[in-house]
């Protein structure tokens, strides 16, 4: 057998640091450029930004291979 000490797998015993949630400006130039390329119309843009259009059909999930 090897003489190396065994390491424990899994979560470490260190205290977890709280993640700071940074406010994101959805109207910033970079966000608008991104929306320009991924959205085809106003309802799609609002839906991507987290504001679903009332009466919009539900999306069907894609099946993985």
pLDDT one-digit tens code per residue, 8-55: 666 666 667 778 888 878 788 988 898 889 888 888 888 888 888 777
- For residue 13, the model assigns a pLDDT of 60
- Residue 48 in any domain: the answer is yes
- Residue 36 in any domain: the answer is yes
Give residue for tokens 């119309």.
Answer: 41
**pTM for the structure as a whole:** 0.43
- Residue 12 in any domain: the answer is no
Q: Give yes or no for a contact between 43 and 52, defined as CB atoms under 8 angstroms apart.
A: no
DSSP string for residues in 1-65: ---SPPPPPS--SSPPPPPPPPP--TTSHHHHHHHHHH-SSHHHHHHHTT-PPTTPPPPPPPPP-
- Residue 32 in any domain: the answer is yes
- For residue 8, the model assigns a pLDDT of 63
pLDDT at residue 7 is higher than 70: no
Structural domain for 46, as ranges: 25-52
- For residue 43, the model assigns a pLDDT of 81
């Amino acid at each position: 057998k090897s003489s190396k000490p065994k390491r424990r797998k899994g979560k470490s015993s260190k205290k977890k640091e709280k993640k700071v949630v940074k406010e994101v400006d959805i109207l910033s130039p970079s966000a608008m450029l991104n929306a320009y390329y991924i959205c085809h119309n106003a309802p799609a843009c609002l839906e991507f930004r987290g504001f679903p259009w009332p009466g919009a059909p539900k999306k069907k999930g894609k099946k993985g291979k």
